[in-house]
Amino acid sequence: MRFMMLVKHAENLSGPPPKELMDAMAKLSEEAVKAGTLVDSGGLAPTAMSTRVRLSRGQVAAIDGPFTEAKEVVGGYAVFELKSKAEAIEGALRFMELHKKHWPGWEGETEIRQVFGPEDFPPKA
Amino acid sequence: MTATDTHRAIDAVWRIESARIIAGLTRIVRDVGLAEELAQDALVAALQQWPESGVPDNPGAWLMATAKHRAIDHFRRNKRLERKHQEFGRELQTQQEMAVPDFDAALDDDIGDDLLRLVFISCHPVLSTEARVALTLRLLGGLTTEEIARAFLAPEPTIAQRIVRAKRTLAEERVPFEVPRGAELAARLSSVLEVIYLVFNEGYSATAGDDWMRPALCEDALRLGRILAELAPKEPEVHGLVALMEIQASRSRARVSSSGEPILLLDQNRAHWDQLLIRRGFAALDRAERLGGMQGPYALQAAIAACHARALTPEETDWARIVALYDALAQLAPSPIVELNRAVAVAMAFGPAAGLELVDGLTAEPSLRGYHLLPSVRGDLLKKLGRFDEARAEFERAAALTRNARERELLLDRARACAGSSTPPAEPR
């Protein structure tokens, strides 16, 4: 089963993440690569560099960031291939524990979304 | 957390940690069967305690520590293993003398080696292929006996017996817990790769049963392959195998119709190919190449798969290169099945008549007598040459030979499409 993890947090952080957190996250993702589960990941540029193309009331429009009205934005993602959702939850718990330990005051969430695969489209008899 | 949540969490922790725990314990107790029992004991303890106490901060370390205590108890109980007890005591003492505050770090130092040793012992040649497969999925894949039984459509007691016997054999034959070196390494590694690819293939085109594919088994094999690639990063064939599996798995979504029928490679909707897996496959192939491994059998097969992955449409396929790669493969590992695949590529590169000539040369091959793809390929080439009656007979023969229900339907469809028609029938979807 494939899962996409979306890490969300307030955009205006007090500064860059502490080095200890970066190191701990690097170690965690190295472990996940060694465990054969992490298949893709990336950090996202701030919304000041982003654009939303939106359809609303019959109008398509491109709106440039930053999106100051958003309380939390997606800051990064990771794609895992795992045996179960429980395994995804366990991984996200460990990831968030690192934030708790190394970045006091930081708040945010990891959203776990399953990516549908061939097993989720059982053949219609 | 509710008790159900905790049980789910324990399942997940087990899946993540069990191989490392069993590997670490095997190094200490030198018996993979005992190591697994001790790890299971720790799991039972977790199931009893965690719903009350909550999941500990470092659940892997908790399980390992608990299993080690069980190991001490076990050796204390077994006076006849006095000598081993002493050895074990020394080992524990050394570990305690290291007095490393970070339990995980101490474990991590050797854990990679221990895992690799566990891979080699699970795929040891003293075991039958079936036993290697079951043991590898159980010890390294973290699958339960029930899951393995379901994957291989075998009764659970059969698989349980197979695992028990395998562990006993390893103990009786005193198979050392080590990474083979020198000349032995190549042969032992190829046994490991064979086991992983066998698991993958059983998922990719199930040899029996009602489903054409069992994707979970492909994922298990891919995970094992990816683990092995990190454990043995300098072995080009490991990357070759990973590349082959990633690229083949990239087609999973495209190779089954919504009604469950297989869709042949050239008929697949390439927009459904998984670009992430293709990219990973190319990267793995690149690693194999940089290690000078492009002449290995898995790397060659991966290079063939990559030719298809690179072609945006079937017409763009570089069939001449595929023929050349099959030539190399046929020289390296001659087999009638490779010859058959080479014949298909020749037909695509140089026309069906050239392919048919090669296939006709294989019809007397005893090892292909029961192999459904021989008449299936021959039928396809005959059909392309407009020899519909002969083609129909070949498709019917192929249908009678396959053990997979979905594949049988596809072949019978193709036979019907040939029947009584002198105009070229539509390709089956």
Asked, for residue B142, whether it belongs to a domain, the answer is: yes
For residue B132, how many other CB atoms are within 10 A of its CB? 24
Asked, for residue B156, whether it belongs to a domain, the answer is: yes
pLDDT band at B1; cut points 50, 70, 90: low
Chain A within 8 Å of B315 (Cβ-Cβ)? no
Amino acid letter, A99? H
Q: Give the residue from B258, B130, B120 showing the smallest Cα distance to B192.
A: B120
Q: Whole-angstrom Cα distance, residue B181 to residue A102?
A: 42
Q: Whole-angstrom Cα distance, residue B250 to residue B277?
A: 5
Using the predicted structure, report yes or no on whether residue B78 has a pLDDT greater than 80: no
Q: Whole-angstrom Cα distance, residue B320 to residue B336?
A: 20
Q: Whole-angstrom Cα distance, residue B143 to residue A83?
A: 10
Chain B within 8 Å of A35 (Cβ-Cβ)? yes
Instruction: Name the CA dihedral angle for B3, B8, B10, B13, rounded to a multiple of 10 degrees.
Output: -150
Domain hosting residue B79, numbered range:
1-107
Q: Are residues B6 and B93 in the same domain?
A: yes
Q: Inter-chain contact A86–B11, Cβ cutoff 8 Å?
A: yes
Q: Are residues B54 and B21 in the same domain?
A: yes
pLDDT band at A1; cut points 50, 70, 90: very high
Assign domain A2-119 to a CATH class.
alpha beta
Q: What's this model's pTM, rounded to 2 decimal places?
A: 0.86
Q: Are residues B1 and B89 in the same domain?
A: yes
Chain B within 8 Å of A1 (Cβ-Cβ)? yes
Q: What is the mean pLDDT of chain B?
A: 88
Q: Are residues B221 and B258 in the same domain?
A: yes
Q: Are residues B335 and B248 in the same domain?
A: no
pLDDT band at B204; cut points 50, 70, 90: confident
Closest in B227, B256, B260 to A35, CB measured: B227
SS3 string, B335-364, reads: CHHHHHHHHHHHHHHHCHHHHHHHHHCCCC
Q: ipTM score of the complex?
A: 0.89
Q: Are A44 and A74 in contact (CB under 8 A)?
A: yes
Q: Whole-angstrom Cα distance, residue B352 to residue B385?
A: 7
pLDDT at B8 (0 to 100):
86
Q: Inter-chain contact A86–B8, Cβ cutoff 8 Å?
A: yes
Pairing of β A59-64 and β A38-43: unpaired
Contacts of A97 in chain B (CB under 8 A): 57
Tell me how far CA of residue B331 lies from CA of B17, B342, B377, in angstroms.
42, 12, 22
Q: Are residues B364 and B418 in the same domain?
A: no
Q: Are residues B201 and B261 in the same domain?
A: yes
Pick from A98-107, B326-335, B413-422: least confident: B413-422
Q: Are residues B101 and B147 in the same domain?
A: no
Pick from A32-36, B1-5, B59-63, B363-367: least confident: B1-5
Higher-scoring residue by pLDDT: B86, B233? B233
- For the segment B377-426, what is each residue's pLDDT rounded down to a tens digit? 999 999 999 999 999 999 999 999 988 888 899 899 999 999 866 555 45
pLDDT band at B106; cut points 50, 70, 90: very low
pLDDT at B153 (0 to 100):
83
Mean of pLDDT values over B152-164? 93
pLDDT at B102 (0 to 100):
39
Q: Are A39 and B276 in contact (CB under 8 A)?
A: yes
Asked, for residue B326, whether it belongs to a domain, the answer is: no
Q: Are residues B56 and B88 in the same domain?
A: yes
Q: Inter-chain contact A83–B258, Cβ cutoff 8 Å?
A: no
Using the predicted structure, report yes or no on whether residue A74 has a pLDDT greater than 70: yes
Q: Inter-chain contact A36–B253, Cβ cutoff 8 Å?
A: no
- The domain locations on chain A are 2-119
Q: Whole-angstrom Cα distance, residue B284 to residue B274?
A: 16
Chain A within 8 Å of B99 (Cβ-Cβ)? no
Amino acid letter, B287? R
Closest in B12, B215, B220 to A117, CB measured: B215
Mean of pLDDT values over B180-201? 92
Q: Give one word for B153, left, alpha or beta, with left for phi > 0 and alpha for psi -120 to 50.
A: left
Q: Inter-chain contact B225–A36, Cβ cutoff 8 Å?
A: yes
How many domains is chain B partitioned into structurally? Answer: 5
